[in-house]
Structure 1
Amino acid sequence: MTEKSSLPIKVHLETQITQEGQVESHSFDEDGQLVKMGDSLYIRYIEHVDQQAIAVRFKIDATGRVQLTRGASKDETQLLLYFKEAEQMASVYQTQYGKLPVVTTTNQLVWTIKDQPLSGELVVQYQLEISQQVVGDYKLRLIFTA
């Protein structure tokens, strides 16, 4: 991909959430876009859940840090998470009632990309805390193909 380019992609996302011993799994298949801007890659798509359309963006920067944004503008609910292997990272969850502090502890982060054909995979395992309360353990696996 060139310095600033965009390609249509197919996105497959699998999530597994463990909360209080209960495991919940979801998977989504959506059309999206892979955008390269400078040293960063962006994967963008709209997730359709329960008749709602949620904007999702993954940003992978040159340092290996991943940023996940779910939601739209400032007056809507928006979740911003950061992941970096073996690190705790603070961010914020914007709700209609205000901002809540969020901390992710990343246990595993693996990112691979192939050129022919263009495809990639991102695997993240993390623990999520909101307002200093552990919400659960999460695993996400995102696969894209051009």
Structure 2
Amino acid sequence: MENNRIDVNVDLDMSVFQAGEMTHTKISEPGRFTRMGNSMYLQFNESMENDDHASILVKITENGEIHVKREAKNTNLSSMLYFTHRDHNAASVYTEYGVMQMKTFTKDSLVEIKDHPLQGKINIDYDLIYDDNIVGNYKFRLIFTV
């Protein structure tokens, strides 16, 4: 399975508590799972309004760090978030007005991947922080299967 791309089905459920309001986003899309060296990658698209989409890349490193890159070219919005269990990390959010340097605090994270048949679960509970203030509380629940 080394360096092979495997087609998978991705289900992502994202809950966000921000400014006193809770929002939920559910995504079910086809994706690709790849192993390169000691890292694993999951790529899929998020369908958006006006026939637009965001490209999402999730990387899991050999030491358990999770990187999530999201890029919507038509709206010039993208983000690069890093997650380490029970730790703070740098984060960047790119907007049409420039780059916002932020932080994440990973309250809890879980990665479970099984090979036969290929399936996985990635859970991240985190705070997004800007200028030492918590902007929102997030729950990221991703499941993929062959």
**Which TM class, normalised by the smaller chain length?**
over 0.9
More helix by proportion, 1 or 2? 2
Aligned counterpart, 2:118? 118
Q: Which stretch has the larger CA shift, 61-70 or 21-30? A: 21-30
Distance across 1 between alignment mates of 2:47 and 2:139: 19
Structure 1 residue 23 and structure 2 residue 4: aligned?
no
Distance across 2 between alignment mates of 1:115 and 1:63: 19
Structure 2 residue runs of 5 or longer lacking an equivalent are none
Gap change, CA 1:83 and 1:35, over 3 Å in 2: same
Aligned counterpart, 1:82? 82
Q: Structure 1 segments of 4 or more deviating over 4 A? A: none
**Residues 47-62 of structure 1 mapped to structure 2, 5 A cutoff:** 47-51=46-50, 52-62=52-62
Structure 1 residue runs of 5 or longer lacking an equivalent are none
The alignment yields a C-alpha RMSD, in angstroms, of 1.5
Structure 1 residue 67 and structure 2 residue 67: aligned?
yes
Aligned counterpart, 1:101? 101
CA contact (8 A) 1:66 1:83 kept: yes
Aligned counterpart, 2:12? 13
Query: Sequence identity, in percent?
Result: 30
Distance across 1 between alignment mates of 2:6 and 2:64: 21
SS at match of 1:86: coil
Q: Shift of residue 131 of structure 1?
A: 4.2
Distance across 2 between alignment mates of 1:66 and 1:42: 10
Distance across 1 between alignment mates of 2:70 and 2:88: 19
Q: How many residues align?
A: 144
TM-score w.r.t. structure 2 length? Answer: 0.93
Distance across 1 between alignment mates of 2:27 and 2:95: 24
Q: Shift of residue 25 of structure 1?
A: 1.1
